[in-house]
Chain A
C-alpha cells in the first residue's frame, strides 16, 4: 500500500480537545490505533490517513519540514518555529479557538515605558548604566528578534525561557518578557504591563498544510476527502445559523 497522508493533531490540553471537536463536527472521528495511549491514530471512514499526536511546536516544525502533510497548530508556533514559513506552510483556515496574543510586557513600575520607542531608549541607556544588556525572557526567540529589529532595538539579549516566563522579572532572571496572553490577568498578577504598540502577533489555531511535503496521488485523494467533509460541515453550520 502507498504511504498514507499524515495528519498531526495536538496531543494534550485545550488545543487537543478543541481540535478533536472541530474534526468530529465534520464527522471525522479520530481514533487511536491499537490501545488508548498510542501516539498514532486514524480517521474512521477515511482510508489512507495516519494521525500523529504531537505537541503544537512539533506540529509546526514537522509541517514546515514536510514530514507531516496536514496539522492543527497555533499561528504563533508556525511563525516562531518555521524559517521562511510562508514558503513552507499554508495557513488553510483559522479555527476560532486557541486565540492569544504574543506581547512585550515590562514591569508596572516602569512608568516611563509606554511604547517600543521608550523601550529602545531604555535598552541603550541600561547598557551604559549597568554594564550589561537589558534581558528579555521568552520562548518566542524568532518573533522577538524580528519584532525588536523592526523597532530598531539592538541593545538587549534574549534569555531563553522554557516555562513560567511571566515570573522571570520577579525572580531576577530577566528584565522584561515576551509571552502569550489571553486576558492579561497573569501578566498583571506578576506585576507586568503590555506596551501600547507591543503586540507582536494575534494568534489562533489554524488548519495548516505543508507546501514542501511529497504529495502522492493517494495522499491528495485523502486530502480531498478530509477537505470535502470539512467544507460540507462548514456549509451545514452556516445554513443552520442563517
Chain B
C-alpha cells in the first residue's frame, strides 16, 4: 500500500486535533538503549557516525516524538502529535523496515478523559483501516501497584514484583518463590563472615574488599549501597507471607469484560480488606468514560495481569488484535507513559523528576495491510 492510501487515516487523526510531525530517522543509539534496554537493542538497526558514535534508526516514533516535544517548547505544555512513516526493527520473519502511524497526547492532566479519548480514536483508526470488529485487551498497572501497596509488601519484594508485571509467567514464578522458604545458595567466605553482622560491619568489610581487590568505585556501586542491600536481603528471605501470595494470585487471575472485572476487584478488596479504592475508582470512571464516547465496553477484555514491561508505562494499556489471524501480534498498541518524559530529560532516577502525563498509540500498518481486500 502506498502512503497515499492512508489519506483517510491521516484526515481522521488531523480532524481529532493532532499535528503531524516527522522527527529524524537517525538518533544517538544511547537514547533508545538507556530507555528500553538491551532487549530492544538487539532489534535496533545500528550504525556508526564519522566520530565513531553509535547511531540507530528509530525503532518507533514515541521516543523521537517526545524528544521533539522537549526540544520545541515549554516543559509540561499540552501538545498533540501524530505521525505516519517508516520505523526500523530486526524482527525475525517480518520486514525490518515498516510503516507505523500513531498519536501522542502529551501534558493533559485529565487522565481518565485522555485515556478514553485515545482508545476511542484507536477504534476510529481501526475502522478507517477496515478492521471493524477488533479484539481489544485492556490492562491497568496502577491497579497492581495499588494492590501491592495495600498489602504492605516489603519494598524489595514490591520492586521485584512490580518489575515482573507484564510477564505473567515470571510473575507467577516469583509469587511461588516468595514463600519465605527459599534456600540460599552456598555462601562464599566473605558472606559466611558476614552472617548476623550489623550494617556498619558489613560496610566495613565491603570497603576492605574494595581496597584488597584493587577495584575502584568510579561511578559504580558504593560500599554504602552494597551494605544497604545486604541488609535488605534478610527481608527478601522472609518472603511476602501467605496472605499476600493468595491475594496476588487471586488478583492476577481476574479477567473479563470491564464491568465483571470491576465487580470481581471490589469483591476481592472487600474480602481481603484491601484499600484500593482510589485506583478502582479511576478504573470504573475510565470505563464510564469509554461508554460515554460510544465504545462498546462489554466487548473490551480486561486482564489484571496485562501490562507492558517497559518501566515508563504507568497505567492504562491496550492492544488491538484481529482474532486468531493476528497470531498474537497486535495491530494497534497503546498506553499511558507518564514516566517517559522525566526519564528522557536525562534524569533516569525514578524518584526524582516530575511526571508529564502522556498517552498514545501506534498502528502497525504493515500488519493491517496484510488483510484480504
Do A and B belong to a common assembly? Answer: yes
Q: How many Å lie between the Cα of A164 and that of B113 in the bound state?
A: 55
**Is A111's CB under 8 angstroms from B37's CB?**
no
**Is B223's CB under 8 angstroms from A109's CB?**
yes
A12 interface residue (CB < 8 Å to B): no
**Is A196's CB under 8 angstroms from B185's CB?**
yes
A128 interface residue (CB < 8 Å to B): yes
Residue of B nearest to A130 (CB): B219
- B218 cross-chain contacts in A, Cβ below 8 A: 172
- A127 cross-chain contacts in B, Cβ below 8 A: 348, 350
Answer whether A112 and B37 are a contact pair too, CB < 8 Å, given A130-B219, A145-B42, A191-B214: no
A193 interface residue (CB < 8 Å to B): yes
A95 interface residue (CB < 8 Å to B): no
B52 interface residue (CB < 8 Å to A): no
- B205 cross-chain contacts in A, Cβ below 8 A: 111
Identify whether the interface residues of B are mostly helix, strand, loop, or mixed.
helix
Q: Which residues in chain A, 115-168, are within 8 Å of chain B measured between CB atoms?
A: 115, 118, 120-122, 124-133, 144-145, 148-149, 152, 154-158
Residue of A nearest to B193 (CB): A111
Q: How many Å lie between the Cα of A107 and that of B225 in the bound state?
A: 14
Identify whether the interface residues of A are mostly helix, strand, loop, or mixed.
mixed
**Is A196's CB under 8 angstroms from B156's CB?**
no
A10 interface residue (CB < 8 Å to B): no
A175 interface residue (CB < 8 Å to B): yes
**Is B215's CB under 8 angstroms from A158's CB?**
no
**Is A196's CB under 8 angstroms from B186's CB?**
yes
Residue of B nearest to A84 (CB): B92
Q: Which residues in chain A, 160-189, are within 8 Å of chain B measured between CB atoms?
A: 169-170, 172, 175
**Is B39's CB under 8 angstroms from A121's CB?**
no
- A128 cross-chain contacts in B, Cβ below 8 A: 348-351
**Is B213's CB under 8 angstroms from A112's CB?**
no
A228 interface residue (CB < 8 Å to B): no
| Interface residues contributed by chain B, number (CB under 8 Å) | 53
Total number of residue pairs linking A and B with CB closer than 8 Å: 119
**Is B34's CB under 8 angstroms from A132's CB?**
yes
- A145 cross-chain contacts in B, Cβ below 8 A: 38-39, 42
Q: How many Å lie between the Cα of A91 and that of B249 in the bound state?
A: 43
**Is B351's CB under 8 angstroms from A108's CB?**
no
A114 interface residue (CB < 8 Å to B): yes
A223 to chain B, nearest CB (A): 32
Which of B191, B206, B346 interacts with A114 by CB under 8 Å?
A: B191
B270 interface residue (CB < 8 Å to A): no
**A107, A111, A114, A172: which has the most chain B beta carbons within 10 Å?**
A111
Query: When each residue 45-82 of chain B gets 1 if its CB lies under 8 Å from chain A and 0 otherwise, what string results?
Result: 00000000000000000000000000000000000000
Which of A118, A156, A170, A175 interacts with B37 by CB under 8 Å?
A: A156
B167 interface residue (CB < 8 Å to A): yes
Q: How many Å lie between the Cα of A120 and that of B37 in the bound state?
A: 13
B108 interface residue (CB < 8 Å to A): no
Answer whether A109 and B38 are a contact pair too, CB < 8 Å, given A122-B221, A128-B349: no
- B37 cross-chain contacts in A, Cβ below 8 A: 133, 154-157
Answer whether A115 and B185 are a contact pair too, CB < 8 Å, given A108-B213, A109-B215, A109-B223: yes
Residue of A nearest to B233 (CB): A112
**Is A131's CB under 8 angstroms from B348's CB?**
yes
A110 to chain B, nearest CB (A): 6
Q: Which residues in chain B, 221-250, are within 8 Å of chain A measured between CB atoms?
A: 221, 223, 225-226, 229-230, 232-233, 236
Q: How many Å lie between the Cα of A114 and that of B192 in the bound state?
A: 12
- B214 cross-chain contacts in A, Cβ below 8 A: 170, 191
- B164 cross-chain contacts in A, Cβ below 8 A: 152
B84 interface residue (CB < 8 Å to A): no
Query: When each residue 302-328 of chain B gets 1 if its CB lies under 8 Å from chain A and 0 otherwise, what string results?
Result: 000000010100000000000000000
A197 interface residue (CB < 8 Å to B): yes
B187 interface residue (CB < 8 Å to A): yes
B170 interface residue (CB < 8 Å to A): yes
Q: How many Å lie between the Cα of A154 and that of B206 in the bound state?
A: 26
**Is B210's CB under 8 angstroms from A109's CB?**
yes
B124 interface residue (CB < 8 Å to A): no
B331 to chain A, nearest CB (A): 25
Q: How many Å lie between the Cα of A155 and that of B206 in the bound state?
A: 24
- A155 cross-chain contacts in B, Cβ below 8 A: 37, 311
**Is B348's CB under 8 angstroms from A132's CB?**
yes
- B41 cross-chain contacts in A, Cβ below 8 A: 157-158
Q: How many Å lie between the Cα of A112 and that of B205 in the bound state?
A: 12
Answer whether A124 and B230 are a contact pair too, CB < 8 Å, given A130-B219, A172-B219: no
**Is B226's CB under 8 angstroms from A112's CB?**
yes
Answer whether A124 and B34 are a contact pair too, CB < 8 Å, given A111-B205, A129-B349: no
- A121 cross-chain contacts in B, Cβ below 8 A: 156, 159-160, 229, 236
**Is B206's CB under 8 angstroms from A109's CB?**
yes
B190 interface residue (CB < 8 Å to A): yes
List 25 A–B pairs whose Cβ atoms lie within 8 Å, in order of A's numbering.
Answer: A107-B210, A107-B221, A108-B190, A108-B213, A109-B207, A109-B210, A109-B226, A111-B205, A111-B226, A112-B230, A114-B188, A121-B159, A122-B221, A127-B350, A128-B349, A129-B225, A133-B33, A133-B34, A145-B39, A152-B170, A155-B37, A157-B37, A157-B41, A172-B220, A191-B213
Since A132-B348, A149-B39, A152-B164 are in contact, a sample of 13 more A-B pairs with Cβ atoms closer than 8 Å, ordered by chain A residue number, is: A111-B190, A114-B191, A121-B156, A121-B160, A121-B236, A124-B159, A126-B221, A131-B346, A133-B37, A152-B167, A157-B34, A170-B216, A172-B219
Using a CB–CB cutoff of 8 Å, the interface residues on chain B facing chain A are: 33-34, 37-39, 41-42, 156, 159-160, 163-164, 167, 170, 184-188, 190-191, 194, 202, 205-207, 209-210, 212-216, 218-221, 223, 225-226, 229-230, 232-233, 236, 309, 311, 346-351
